[in-house]
Amino acid sequence: MKTRITELLGIEYPIICGGMFQVGRAELAAAVSEAGGLGIITSKTQGTSEKLREEIRKVKALTKKPFAVNLNLFPSQTATPNEDFIQVMIEEDVRIVETSGRSPKALMPLLKENGFTVLHKVVGAKYAMTAERLGVDAVIVVGNETGGHPGMSDVGTMVALPRVIDSVRIPVIAGGGFADGRGLVSALAFGAEGVLMGTRFMATKEAPIHDNVKQWMLSADETETVIVQKNLGSPSRVALNEVSQEVERLEKEGATIEQLLPLITGQRAKHVYFEGDLDGGIWSCGQSVGLVKEILSAEELIQQIVSEAEQSLAFIRKSVEHRESVK
Ligand SMILES: Cc1cc2nc3c(=O)[nH]c(=O)nc-3n(C[C@H](O)[C@H](O)[C@H](O)COP(=O)(O)O)c2cc1C
């Protein structure tokens, strides 16, 4: 399981829990890191640098292993500047950052001067090449199956991943649709050096969200998500519910951002995550929800993925040997 990603991040298994707004809090991030993967908390969830500092300290109290902070680069008029979040990370000695949403260009000098390892999330080869030129250490590629933000072009992981791998020399982490050991083996077979999962980690014991959400994830299949906000140029794959269906309907009618905002605001997702009202708002969820069969702890999940991956590899070896013996 050693890859350039495990070496770069100082982790045991090439398995990362992607940053998740509201969901990726200290308890989940620490559990993933403690289990040998890389956990990530998000600055956007915390909102201010002092709250981020508190959350970082919570993770540190739970694990001594490496973890990261996700910085959302999507422009927002009210948010704390990312430079302030970075300053807190420097002071708290967290030196791995996952960037997403926009080009990390403006922040790269500050990050590199301060010795950060930068993992940048992209949706395709052209963005990966730009990120490599800017000096990021690794790219995460997410295809259309992903929970959260896929690209505008609807390209699935199956094509986006090898396209990115063929386009850059830095290590590539595969995301979007991964949930088990077969997925990990396939990502490695493509030439990726790790997997990043969000949706699958939501359905773990440590994910700090209402049990109604986890139970829904157990019952949902892969068709029960939908992409909204494409009209706004910011597509988002979310769980199918009353609100996302209403947004979909309004978008087909050409609704404006002002009309959509009351439905799509991230504040409403809190009703879902913390009160268990499944129709409380739109909330990110990927197609891999169809692969969620049980609620495990982060450690059980990572161990299961590793042992499934070993079984898959043994199976591949056996079938190759069999084919060679009958030639
Ligand atoms: C509930 C949820 C919230 C997310 N929030 C963020 C976020 O704030 N920033 C980000 O870069 N990605 C976010 N993502 C995307 C994940 O980090 C990850 O890239 C994605 O979930 C991988 O695809 P998968 O869901 O198929 O595993 C979110 C995903 C989910 C499911």
In tens, the pLDDT along 122-172 reads 999 999 999 999 999 999 999 999 999 999 999 999 999 999 999 999 999
Mutate-to-test residue for ligand 1 from 69, 72, 120, 146, highest number of ligand atoms within 8 A of CB:
146
Mean pLDDT across the chain? 96
- Give the Å distance between the CA of 317 and the centre of ligand 1: 33
- Give the Å distance between the CA of 198 and the centre of ligand 1: 5
Residues near ligand 1 (Cβ within 6 A): 18-21, 23, 42, 44, 70, 72, 100, 121, 142, 145-148, 175-178, 196-200, 202, 284-286, 288
| Closest Cα to atom 11 of ligand 1 | 100
What's the distance, Cα to Cα, between the start and end of the chain in Å?
A: 31
- Give the Å distance between the CA of 157 and the centre of ligand 1: 14
**Mean pLDDT calculated for residue range 111-120:** 98
Q: Give pTM, 2 decimals.
A: 0.97
Q: Where is average pLDDT lowest: 113-127, 187-201, 228-242, 309-323?
A: 309-323
Q: Tell me what pLDDT residue 77 has.
A: 57
CATH of 4-208+296-326 given 2.40.50.100, 3.40.1160.10, 3.65.10.10, 3.20.20.70: 3.20.20.70
Q: Which amino acid is at 1?
A: M
Taking each helix axis from N to C end, the angle separating 266-275 and 257-264, rounded to the nearest 10 degrees, works out to 20
The partner residues of 107 in beta bridges, in order of sequence, read: none
Rg for the chain, CA atoms, rounded: 19
Per-domain boundaries in the chain: 4-208+296-326, 211-287
**Mean pLDDT calculated for residue range 268-279:** 96
Q: Which atom of ligand 1 is nearest to the CA of 17?
A: 17
Burial (Cβ within 10 Å: 0-12, 13-18, ≥19) of residue 277:
middle
Q: Tell me what pLDDT residue 78 has.
A: 63
- Rounded to 5°, the CA angle 34-37-38 comes to 95
- Give the Å distance between the CA of 94 and the centre of ligand 1: 21
- Give the Å distance between the CA of 199 and the centre of ligand 1: 7
The partner residues of 39 in beta bridges, in order of sequence, read: 67
